[in-house]
Structure 1
Amino acid sequence: ERNQHAPAMSGKPFCSPTRVAIDPRNGDILVADGYGNARVHRFSPDGKQLLSSWGEAGTEPGNFNLVHDIDVDEDGYIYIGDRENRRVQVFNPAGKLEARWVDLSRTAAVHVSKGLVYIGEYYAGGSEAYKVAGRLGPRVSILDVKGNTLARLSEEAFGDEPGRFYAPHAIATDSNDDIYVAEVSYAEFGMHMDSSKELRSMQKLIKKR
């Protein structure tokens, strides 16, 4: 019902959705209903008709533990950042699970462009995790659509230096294939530092030419 949450984990849209993607083949709207549901919904291009819906809470293949980001490639394959399961799951256009990529950390951001999948990962989540994250290092991983890792940007400890991250939370690319990384730096790190401070929340990485 308009302006009302569906009951938590009911499977019904919506309960604190996290992201929306458009199927480039037909304009269908796909919604990652992640914070309060473990569900993906497909709607008609005008948003008036629920065409399909899938997913449930859990750790098994096809289950979700916080559907945090979603994107769709030119062939209609759907890439899900299953954040707290620390993986990306790939579904075909009908919603059938095709692949799981598991050599990842908290998969907060997923972006697909020109046959490449950009994944923002971070390790923060409270003061203790903040200390551990300093050793592990947040990063952006670049994979092909088959799940092969092509590059990993910054596996160093978090930091303000160009090319290092705090908490990648959303990713986009432009026509030049430059990468834009938005971060929840203050919420995940700045407020947990000994002296609370504002941190950079957006970074542009220019492709080498």
Structure 2
Amino acid sequence: MRVAAVALAVALLLTTITAGAAPPIATQSIRPLFSITRDAGGVLSLPTDVAIGIDGNIYIVDGGNHRLLIFNRRGKPVRSIGRRGSKQAEFLDPVGVCTDPAGRVYVADKGNQRIQVFSADGEFELAFDVKDNGKPVDPVDVAASADGKRVYVTGNSNHKVMMYAATGKLLGKWGGEGVNKGEFRYPATLTTANDGRVYVVDVFNTRVQVFNAAGKYVLEFSGWGVLPGQSVRPKGIAIDRRGRIYVSDSYMDVVQVFDDSHQFVHVLGTGGTPHRFISAAGIAIDDTNRLYVAEVLKNRVSVYQLEP
């Protein structure tokens, strides 16, 4: 982290020195709409991820309070699910959340080493354990395929992606600790594209790796650094309806945007100035081009309108 901080400071210094000659960084404008900081049960505590349902509802993992929260599209509380525990609809340090095309909600219940599945309105449906040869994997995120038939889970301690049927049956796995193609060092969030590809944020390797639906390596992009398109601590990832890829960086406090060819396009901000998020982790984008950002240390989920 100290090396990254020094590098970032040097980059900012060089930018200042050459400000007269260097063009401003390309930005995509965003407009703040509202923030979610609490529900009827109290304030959020360390929210790590957010997902959007087919009806526009907002699902937030309230990790510090061991809850799954549901809000409507306007940010009004709908339901709170769970408490600290290991029974059905209870959680222990939940981290990731996603929805599938049928409206089901999947939660990576990290401390209980399982995925819990709920209906769109929050009714418990099923749970399945996430283990690798009988050993815990610390599941930190979950993503459903575009057809809803497969569910992908990142294992933080085994450095793998686990692939399941929607029923919880293990279909396969790939990865392992390392720096080579198809290997990971603490994979975090992941998402799926309409073509079936799986995008995995490989945190300590500071890159995003892309695989086909069966787990075959396709490509990678980003990489360590403080220049546009590079990352220091990539955390969240989302894909919009045009195929653009958004990646949050919790160290540089920015969200960068890549086109469908995985080339850097711009950073979210205004007039060449990046918008600064606070410890941005999980992100989501809905069909109306709204961006949702879980800002962990600010204990909030911030909502923005992405401008064309």
The answer (yes or no) to whether the contact 1:11–1:37 under 8 Å persists in 2 is: no
Secondary structure at the aligned position of 1:206 is classed as strand
Q: Highest relative contact order (Cα 8 Å, sep 6+), 1 or 2?
A: 2
Structure 1 stretches of 5 or more lacking a match? 124-136, 158-162, 186-198
Task: Output the TM-score relative to the length of structure 2.
Answer: 0.51
Q: Percent identity?
A: 26
Aligned pairs (5 A) from 1:151-190: 151-154=266-269, 163-185=275-297
In structure 2, the partner of 1:204 is 303
The answer (yes or no) to whether the contact 1:18–1:32 under 8 Å persists in 2 is: yes
Task: Output the TM-score relative to the length of structure 1.
Answer: 0.74
Coordinate RMSD, CA, aligned: 2.6
Measured after TM superposition, the shift of residue 19 of structure 1 is 0.5
CA radius of gyration, larger in: 2
Rounded to whole Å, the distance in 1 between the matches of 2:273 and 2:135 is 39
In structure 1, the partner of 2:262 is 147
The answer (yes or no) to whether the contact 1:23–1:72 under 8 Å persists in 2 is: yes
Residues paired across the two proteins, number: 173
In structure 1, the partner of 2:91 is none
Q: Mark the CA change 1:53 to 1:12 in structure 2 (over 3 Å): closer, same or farther.
A: farther
1:119-157, Cα deviation, whole Å (9 max, x unpaired) = 11122xxxxxxxxxxxxx321011123211122125979
Q: Mark the CA change 1:78 to 1:22 in structure 2 (over 3 Å): closer, same or farther.
A: same
Aligned pairs (5 A) from 1:16-31: 16-31=138-153
In structure 1, the partner of 2:216 is 96
2:159 maps to a residue whose letter is A
1:39-58, Cα deviation, whole Å (9 max, x unpaired) = 101111211x2111000001
Give the structure with the larger strand fraction.
2
Q: Mark the CA change 1:4 to 1:169 in structure 2 (over 3 Å): closer, same or farther.
A: closer
Rounded to whole Å, the distance in 1 between the matches of 2:265 and 2:217 is 23
1:68 maps to a residue whose letter is A
Measured after TM superposition, the shift of residue 69 of structure 1 is 0.5
